[in-house]
Amino acid sequence: MFATNIHKLRKSKSMTQGDLAEVLGVGVSTISDWEKAKKYPRAGVIEKISSYFGVAKNKLFEEQADLFDLYDSDDDVINLPIVGRVSCGNGITVFEEIDGYEETPKTWVRGGDHFYVRASGDSMINARIHDGDLLLIKKQDDVEDGEIAAITIDEQIFLKRVFKSNDMIILQSENSEIPPMFKTENDGHIRIIGKLKKIVIDM
């Protein structure tokens, strides 16, 4: 049953076997062996799988009629990763550094994949985003003009308000002391990876 369940979970996030291997710190051949029921993960890796997908460990090894049966309907929270660094090669966003997990109400994350980043510095202070705040991001590759987006520039994550003009992207901070950045839309060093959904204030 684990082979079927891990395959369903991987596909639900549109991940390749290589993507999942990077997230879990295992080889691609290991993922392949799991999905062919040739091998099973060790306890520590099972914990990672459970946390990453927000699925109870025991349910990974039980027969499920549907993907949604993997999720405990009585549990009103899900663990989401706090992402420190990503790679975006070949058009695929892969979390390379995960700084932990945050329990999140399921009502916050209906529709689409979500993750957290932690604010650093004061570049978005006028949007009430302060250093250390957790920022809930909905994973998507574009935003509407003027929305706040999580953006990667050379695999580092930034949070900026996005404006578009002709073939230019303007990345605007919410701090008058920080000038905007101007990028072309075909600049391979920049990529929108998500839209800001919620600020979790650091107390």
Catalytic residues: 123, 160
Q: How far apart are CA 34 and CA 140, in angstroms?
A: 29
Compute CA 20 distance to the chain's CA centroid, rounded to the nearest angstrom: 13
- Which residues have C-beta within 8 Å of that of residue 68, sequence separation ≥ 6? none
Angle at 67 between CA 65 and CA 68, to 5 degrees: 100
Write out the E strands in 14-173: 77-87, 94-105, 114-118, 134-139, 148-153, 156-165, 168-172
Please tell me the distance from the alpha carbon of residue 177 to that of residue 163, in angstroms, as a whole number: 18
Side-chain half-sphere of 154: how many Cα atoms within 13 Å? 0
C-alpha torsion sign, points 179, 136, 13, 84: positive
Structure tokens, 110: 């209906």
CB-based burial of residue 7 (10 Å sphere; 0-12 exposed, 13-18 middle, 19+ buried)?
middle
